Amino acid sequence: MKNFIQDGKTITLTAPYAVSSGAGLLVGSIFGIASNDAPIGLDVEAVLEGVFTIAKTSAQAWTVGQLIYWDDTNKVATSVLTGNKLIGVAVSIAANPSSTGSVRLNCAFIS
């Protein structure tokens, strides 16, 4: 195909804030996991699909298949919809308290 650019599993974004490899980031409506460290304003490779263990709101218990959102203010995954962006589903139980949870990213572009 003449118009194919890339498979889109990983894309280059401009870091909206300083990010570390393995941390989540939100650029507009694109959510991904940083594959490299990047200071604000520089390029970061963002992985848009797969299963990742990421920082979560500690005081939440997650169940398998529960919808998971990104809290961009606190830079953590959460089960709270209000004010947050849908990023995927929990793929394993996460206890309350716990600092991380496993999430299957469902879609990079969330409305």
Is the pTM of the predicted complex or chain greater than 0.85?
yes
Kindly report, residue by residue over 11-23, the tens digit of the pLDDT.
999 999 999 999 9
Say what the pLDDT of residue 63 is. Answer: 98
Say what the pLDDT of residue 106 is. Answer: 80
Say what the pLDDT of residue 111 is. Answer: 47
Angle at 35 between CA 87 and CA 91, to 5 degrees: 35
Q: Is the pLDDT of residue 107 over 90?
A: no
Kindly report, residue by residue over 21-67, the tens digit of the pLDDT.
999 999 998 999 999 999 999 999 999 999 999 999 999 999 999 99
